[in-house]
Structure formats: structure tokens, C-alpha cells
Amino acid sequence: MMTLYGQVMSRAQRCLWLLEELGVEFEHEKVNQNAGESRTPEFLKINPNGHVPALRDGDLVIWETIAINWHIASRYGAGSLWPDDPDQQSQIMQWSLWMTTELEGLLVDYLRHAMVYPEEKRNPALVEAALANYPAPMKVLDDHLQGREYLVGDSFTLADLNVASMMGLVDVYKQFDNSAFPAAVAWLEKMLARPARAKALART
């Protein structure tokens, strides 16, 4: 049986949502990174970087959410969230990596320095940079979603989940001006309303 390590209000939510979508059996170890639980000697044997999430599947241990979700989807979600078409698989990886390189850092900086960290740890410059740089990747997303229901193909895939999950983490996207991106917002709200995401959030 697989074991997923990490609390819901972290990047682990991306993996928990996928596991709930696929309905596979797994154990959830609620390792709280904010409380230092990912820095214990025991957990550092699982992920020497000291971060969550991490996944154990038999003898295999994987960290990094995109790698974890690629493993889960390709092994347990073939033909559904992970289509058989190699071209669509490449597009799924494209959008998943796009999220981590173009948008996720901005969202995380805003989340930490405007919402989570105590006042003395906040860096206002990072908040300002996030607000200033957010429109460029959002325009890419919005342009792509014109006339589309999903990022890849005509059904929900890992691409939709990997992108929407971080945008929906504590609804951070609502802190930004999205008035110029109606297609992206409509898509995002549809993705975040999926029942499997609600199941993942209930694991708090």
C-alpha cells in the first residue's frame, strides 16, 4: 500500500487530490512541515531535503509533487487522468512543469509573505513582485483556455489537477486581480469544485 507523507495545507494537497480522484487505497501520514516534523531524523531518511510531500510505494520512495503525481497517475490512472496518447502525455508534463516554473513561485511567495508568516518574517518586496508578475503567466493560461474546458484534450487530466491544486491552495488566487482572465477563472472554479478535492481537504 502507498503512504503519502504531508499535511493537507501544503503542496501535499496536490498528491492527496490525485489519490482521491483515482480511488486508490493509501495511508496518509500527516507530517507537519511547519511544526518541524519533516526535519526529524526519521523523516530525513524518507526525504533528505526535509520537505513534504513524499510518497512510499512498496520499496520505492519519491519526493517532489510533480514526480509523485506522475508516478501515481501513470501507474494507477492510465487511460483516464494519464491518457494513452504520448502527445497528450507530453502536454500534461508541459503544463505541470509550466506551473512550477512560471506561476507557483509567485503564489507561494504571496501566500507566505502576505498570509502565513508572522509580520516580522514577511518580505513586502516579494508580495509586490508576486502581484506585478502574476498577470503574464495568467494571460498564457487564459489564452490557452479560450474555447476549452480542459488544459489537455477533452477531459480532466493530471495537467488540470497539477495546475489547479496550487492555485486553489487556501484560495490564494482570489488575492490577485483576475478580471482580465475570465476563461482561466471559470476553468479553475470548475476544477476546484470536483468532489475528490473536497475529500482531500477533509483530511486536514
Model pLDDT for residues 37-77, shown as the tens digit of each residue: 999 999 999 999 999 999 999 999 999 999 999 999 999 99
For residues 124-141, one letter each, b for 16 or more C-beta atoms within 10 angstroms of the residue's C-beta and e for the rest, the string is eebbebbbeebeebbeeb
Which of 85, 86, 31, 83 minimizes the C-alpha distance to 56?
31
- 137 contact partners, CB below 8 Å, separation of at least 6: 98, 102, 103, 106
Residue span(s) of the chain under CATH 3.40.30.10 come to 2-80
Percentages helix, strand, coil for the chain (3-state, rounded to 5) are 60, 10, 30
Q: Is the pLDDT of residue 34 over 90?
A: no
Least confident of 61-70, 96-105, 165-174: 165-174
Cis-peptide, bond into residue 182, ω within 30° of zero: no
- Per CATH, which fold does 2-80 belong to? Glutaredoxin (3.40.30)
Least confident of 34-43, 91-100, 153-162: 34-43
Residue span(s) of the chain under CATH 1.20.1050.10 come to 86-194
Q: What is the architecture, at CATH level 2, of domain 86-194?
A: Up-down Bundle (1.20)
CB contact at 8 A, 125 and 167 = no
